[in-house]
Amino acid sequence: MMRPRVGWLLGLALGTLAGAGWAGNVQVTVQDSAGKPLAGAVVFLESREARAQAKPLSGAEIAQRNKRFEPDVTVVTVGSAVTFPNQDTVRHHVYSFSPVKTFELKLYIGTPASPVVFDKPGIAVLGCNIHDQMAAWVVIVETPYFGRSAASGQVALVGVPAGSYRLRVWHPGLAVGAPAADQALAVGAADQATVFKLAGVTP
């Protein structure tokens, strides 16, 4: 009398294990509105499941060197702490007035004692109150599946479980305050490739 139930439970367990192993690579090619490869785009996949898997990163750093932020674009997960070492011989005053993260690191040389924690998703624009030409961006995401496109416009998101996602793409050449563009993407068990055209980017 119990054998059918045992078989059903075994089948369910095996199906769950198989589903857990369904993960592939998603290659995204980002193009501008003219169809040319777009380098330096931030690409990420969001879903409820991905949000639960995202963990804060360690060791994130944005240096000031030769009166520039390096790197100019940094991608971190929500809750990540970022240090801002000043490697110049002049003082910098790093700030962001973006709603997603407002902070100031007033005139300093060296590395501030406390890092800045980015605890909300979105895009923070950074500047220096002393050197107006300095600008950088921090993109805070709620997913472990993210990257930046190469000169070819391509980026590979590795080990993405099968499921329904929002594919989001942002570029520093977009208008100030512009959010990431997005489209639906169904990810299967096998590797796959897709093309994303991002309009509104200026060189």
What pTM was computed for the model?
Answer: 0.88
Q: Which two tokens stand for residue 179?
A: 């959010």
Which residues constitute the domain of residue 186? 22-54+143-203
Confidence band for 21, pLDDT divided at 50, 70 and 90 = low
Confidence band for 6, pLDDT divided at 50, 70 and 90 = very low
Residue 176 belongs to a domain = yes
Q: For residue range 102-146, what is the model confidence (pLDDT) as tens digits? A: 999 999 999 999 999 999 999 999 999 999 999 999 999 999 999
Helix, strand, coil proportions of the chain in percent (round to 5)? 10, 50, 40
How far apart (Å, rounded) are the C-alpha atoms in residues 118 and 115?
A: 10
Over residues 78-105, mean pLDDT:
98
Confidence band for 202, pLDDT divided at 50, 70 and 90 = confident
How far apart (Å, rounded) are the C-alpha atoms in residues 84 and 74?
A: 12
| 3-class SS string, 113-124 | CCCEEECCCEEE
List the CATH number of the domain containing 106. Answer: 2.60.40.420
pLDDT at 20 over 70: no
Q: Are residues 149 and 181 in the same domain?
A: yes
Confidence band for 1, pLDDT divided at 50, 70 and 90 = very low
Q: Are residues 154 and 194 in the same domain?
A: yes
pLDDT at 3 over 60: no
Domain end: 141, 160, 195, which one? 141
Domain end: 126, 141, 156, which one? 141
Number of residues that this document lists for the chain:
203
How far apart (Å, rounded) are the C-alpha atoms in residues 111 and 84?
A: 6
User: Residues of 117-144 as b/e, b for ≥16 C-beta within 10 angstroms?
Assistant: ebeebbbbbbbbeebeebebbbbbbbbb
Q: For residue range 24-40, what is the model confidence (pLDDT) as tens digits? A: 999 999 999 999 999 99
Q: Say how many domains are in the chain.
A: 2
List the CATH number of the domain containing 191. Answer: 2.60.40.10
Confidence band for 191, pLDDT divided at 50, 70 and 90 = very high
Burial (CB < 10 A; 0-12, 13-18, 19+), residue 91, is middle
How far apart (Å, rounded) are the C-alpha atoms in residues 113 and 85?
A: 10
How far apart (Å, rounded) are the C-alpha atoms in residues 80 and 59?
A: 9
Q: Are residues 42 and 96 in the same domain?
A: no
